[in-house]
Amino acid sequence: MLQTLQSEDRPATDAEKASLARWGSWGAQGVFQIFDETREDYAGDREHLRSLLSEAQYDAARRTTINAHYTDAAYVQAIWSTVQEIGFIGGTVLEPGSGVGTFIGFAPDTADMTGVELDPTTAAISQALYPEATIRAESFADTKLPAGHFDLVIGNVPFANVTLHDPRHNAGGHSIHNHFILKSLELTRPGGMVAVLTSSFTLDATNPAARREMNQLADLVGAVRLPTGSHRKAAGTDAMTDLLIFRRREPGQEPATILWETVTARQVDGTITRLNSYFDEYPERLLGDLHVGNGMYGAETLQLTTDDLSAVPARLDAALADVVAEAKAAGMVMTERTAEQDRQRAAYVPAAAHEWEGHISTGDNGFTVVENGSHSDLAVPKTQGVELRALLGLRDAARALLSAEAESRDDTADIDALREELKTSYSRYTDTYGPINRYTLRDTGRVDEETQEPIQARITPRAVAIMSRDPFGPLVMALENFDEATQTASPAALLSSRQVQPRRPVLGVDTAEEALTVTLDSVGEVDLDYAASLLGISRDETRAAMGESIYQVPGTDEAYQTRAEYLSGNVREKLEVAQAAALSDDRFAVNVRALTDAMPQPLRMDEVEARLGAVWIDAGTHQEFVREILNDPYATVSNAAGSMWDVKANRHTLSATSNWGTQRMPASDILKQVLEQRPVRVTDEGENNRRVLNPTETAAAQEKAQLLQERFSEWVWEEPERATRLIDEYNRRFNSIVLRDYSTEGERLSLPGMAKDWSPRPHQRAAVARMLSEPAVGLFHQVGAGKTAEMVMGVMEPAPLGHGQQARRRDPKPHAGAVRPRMAPDLSPGPHPRGIIGGPRWRQTPAVRCARGRQRMGRRGYDPNRLPACKPQPRS
């Protein structure tokens, strides 16, 4: 139905809206299981869904299953009634993680609603249901809006132990639910309200950091905890949730209380657990009875239970009435917008699609810069305005010329005219101001510690410094060849000749090898249909011609990988899959043979060190060892999970207290410490019940621990059957990886958009190919090997192939200024921003401006000793 509405480009009828409103989210019971590839019982539904959605839509839907649960209408109505009682009479309202738009559907007519929803399918359904609302189909982490933009934020935030990348609004790296609340508070004006359902962990988490950040921005007007199961009927989840109502404080006001920042320990059902201190003062706002039991997040989870879930809406209404009365008495109600807030709201101008973060514009009223997706006033000294306008003119002229070159392989009259316009503008600028990259030197009064020479600072003209912060600032700087020694410049090659050579479409090839090369360079993956069209033969003939240069991936619908890709990575796992597939399909016999040949040489026993607690040695083997050395046939060793071990054995035998242990720490206790990789320590009771280290007993116990470790390392390999089993397990776990050779893939790259006179070396091509294939790459080449060029090519290449939308680059701090600012435009002079920040006057400029889904490059210095983990970023 949704696809019909989109193809016919028309609004939904009332009947269609009624049908669309039944949509229950990808996370609903009976729906999220479709995305589990191991569930064969859902294979038919999965195949049908893939036929309806694009690959991007399918991936987005799968990502939302962990937190796509919608809200019971009774709770939605109660929350709307409460915010109206507290003072909302109309205005701009945000629903983050809006889903199908339940809160939008119950909004009063005076509410100007904006919803943010990650899943494009759900967002489209919401827009069809509520065409008068603004629905932004994007991750809330990517939402760019000015601070204080909304009067009210309302909704049910997604909750999971997931952290989204949002350096502006989640610098603390908080879980998704806390991140949503913090960003919502930032986007709410002072005097406005935020009312959201969230995980109970927002209030009950032991770490108070997120709550303290919230309290810096807003007062907690009230909180009500709903019992476990309250969302079962509407969302199919038993998550325990809290309704939190905040009032954004005016600047300069102190927090009303810090009570809710802390948690207190309390005993529930014989278990010590933690509950937010707020509920110590307001126990009636717990709509149920506290118990400890098995919950969504494991055993011994604090739960709030009730015998009558149907009575929860009425109890919620009563609790919220008490919250409203208290808020009115304390003056913590919503206030009307001030004149300044009205002015800021009226001045809001969203950025156009081509205006990325940092884009500078000029108009009759001065200059603006794009910040958080909207235009903000940019202060420019009056004496610098004329020059800045000239620089912006150069930027626009250069962009227009590069865009024209990228769109046509022919040197048309239009391109010639654009080049002449740019050349004239550049000459006019230099005749008036001098070179763009000019600077003066000023003594700082400091001396270099090594050379004892005076340290001088570069002083850049103010207009040029402002221009450098624009996404296309490096492009403007690259319009000339600047000689620092003479402070003179000559026009760059772009002003006299073509610099962008579009990819020439290949219409046909002669060999299967050529077809594979062109396919990978054009599409980025093995596409037999595309390769067949290049060869002018059938798909089956193309597959046969390519032979073992590609392999079909078992368990997929005719998906293929290159030889280099398929015969690398965890080849042992791939071999097991291929062997299983070959049992019923002879086509995969070639996979089995190739993977067998690619398998790493097995490690021998003398090449492996066996240690107590090693993950590749099972608990049964450890138990066998303990029984043998302690001569205790009833000893048990178990590994509950991770590093949690349990050792039970006789503690009073000679073996336990003398041969392998001590009187103070028997062998079983020592073994437990060693298995869990904890320090072996013996302590005595000191003053004030404090434990004090006993050095003598500790040394004795540590000596026994070393003896146990040494004996275990020998014992493991003494029995042939056990030794064979364990060395096979070690090889299976840790000797299955084959590194991929990217040399061939690198040679296949055409690198469209690179400067005509640039010819990368083979190792640079291989580096780019690797960057295209892996989510995070370290380029550990020697100095002078061309790492900067590799980074430029690697960042620019994904865009034509549709691989990446955001790219970031990090350099160790000692090298943060070693890259020429113009390096990227010199190598890749395309129409998109390709800025690398480098040099003293560039170090403080933020280069990370990855916005509006366009390929960008970012860079900043990092401390090599504090390198953050690199992993794909979740979205919501």
Cβ(83)–Cβ(94) below 8 Å: no
Looking at residue 64, what is its pLDDT? 58
The residue that leads in pLDDT, 524 or 51, is 524
Asked if the model's pLDDT at residue 526 lies above 80, the reply is yes
- pLDDT, mean of residues 197-205: 94
Q: What percent of the chain has pLDDT over 70?
A: 81
Looking at residue 787, what is its pLDDT? 72
- Stretch (H or E) spanning 744: helix 743-748
- Stretch (H or E) spanning 300: strand 298-305
- The pLDDT mean for the chain works out to 84
Q: Convert the pLDDT of each residue in 354-365 to its tens digit.
A: 888 899 999 888
Cβ(271)–Cβ(292) below 8 Å: yes
DSSP 8-state code for residue 350: B
Least confident of 175-179, 305-309, 800-804: 800-804
Looking at residue 846, what is its pLDDT? 31
Q: Report the alpha-carbon distance of residue 394 to residue 475 in Å, rounded.
A: 9
Q: What's the pLDDT band for 22 if we cut at 50, 70, 90?
A: low
Asked if the model's pLDDT at residue 294 lies above 60, the reply is yes
Highest mean pLDDT among 294-308, 573-587, 751-765: 573-587
- pLDDT, mean of residues 189-212: 95
Q: What's the pLDDT band for 232 if we cut at 50, 70, 90?
A: confident
Cβ(528)–Cβ(552) below 8 Å: no
Least confident of 11-25, 297-311, 533-547, 810-824: 810-824
Cβ(240)–Cβ(225) below 8 Å: yes
Q: Report the alpha-carbon distance of residue 179 to residue 198 in Å, rounded.
A: 11
- pLDDT, mean of residues 485-511: 89
Q: What's the pLDDT band for 158 if we cut at 50, 70, 90?
A: confident
Highest mean pLDDT among 78-82, 343-347, 350-354, 407-411: 78-82
Position of tokens 């989109």? 6
Looking at residue 35, what is its pLDDT? 64
Residues 6 or more apart in contact with residue 594 via CB below 8 angstroms: 548, 551, 563, 566, 567
Q: What's the pLDDT band for 201 if we cut at 50, 70, 90?
A: very high
Q: How far is CA 830 from each of CA 191, 310, 438, 792, rounded to the nearest angstrom?
A: 47, 62, 24, 12
Q: How far is CA 854 from each of CA 54, 90, 799, rounded to the nearest angstrom?
A: 20, 36, 8
Tokens of 442: 């000023």
Q: How far is CA 145 from each of CA 156, 247, 357, 718, rounded to the nearest angstrom?
A: 20, 19, 11, 67
Q: Which parts of 107-252 fold into alpha helices (H)?
A: 120-129, 176-186, 201-204, 209-217, 232-235
Q: Convert the pLDDT of each residue in 752-776 to its tens digit.
A: 656 666 678 888 878 777 777 776 7
Looking at residue 581, what is its pLDDT? 93
- pLDDT, mean of residues 791-802: 58
Q: Report the alpha-carbon distance of residue 798 to residue 791 in Å, rounded.
A: 12
- pLDDT, mean of residues 604-630: 95
Tell me the DSSP string of 824-838. Answer: HHHH---SS------
Q: Report the alpha-carbon distance of residue 673 to residue 613 in Å, rounded.
A: 10
Least confident of 22-26, 118-122, 339-343: 22-26
Tell me the DSSP string of 33-76. Answer: GGG-TT-GGGHHHHHHHHHHS-HHHHHHHHHGGGT-----HHHH
Asked if the model's pLDDT at residue 56 lies above 80, the reply is no
Q: Report the alpha-carbon distance of residue 597 to residue 228 in Å, rounded.
A: 55
Looking at residue 396, what is its pLDDT? 95
- pLDDT, mean of residues 679-705: 92
Q: What's the pLDDT band for 416 if we cut at 50, 70, 90?
A: very high
Looking at residue 353, what is its pLDDT? 78
Q: Report the alpha-carbon distance of residue 455 to residue 442 in Å, rounded.
A: 9
User: Where do the domains of the chain lie, and which CATH numbers do they carry?
Assistant: 69-330 (3.40.50.150), 349-378 (no CATH), 382-495 (no CATH), 605-734 (no CATH), 751-876 (3.40.50)
Looking at residue 811, what is its pLDDT? 52
- pLDDT, mean of residues 346-358: 86
Looking at residue 118, what is its pLDDT? 86
Asked if the model's pLDDT at residue 610 lies above 60, the reply is yes
Q: Convert the pLDDT of each residue in 419-457 to its tens digit.
A: 999 999 999 999 999 999 999 999 999 988 888 899 999
Asked if the model's pLDDT at residue 299 lies above 80, the reply is no
Looking at residue 229, what is its pLDDT? 81
Q: Report the alpha-carbon distance of residue 31 to residue 194 in Å, rounded.
A: 31
Looking at residue 867, what is its pLDDT? 34
Looking at residue 759, what is its pLDDT? 77
Looking at residue 255, what is its pLDDT? 96
Q: How far is CA 876 from each of CA 116, 137, 236, rounded to the nearest angstrom?
A: 9, 10, 20
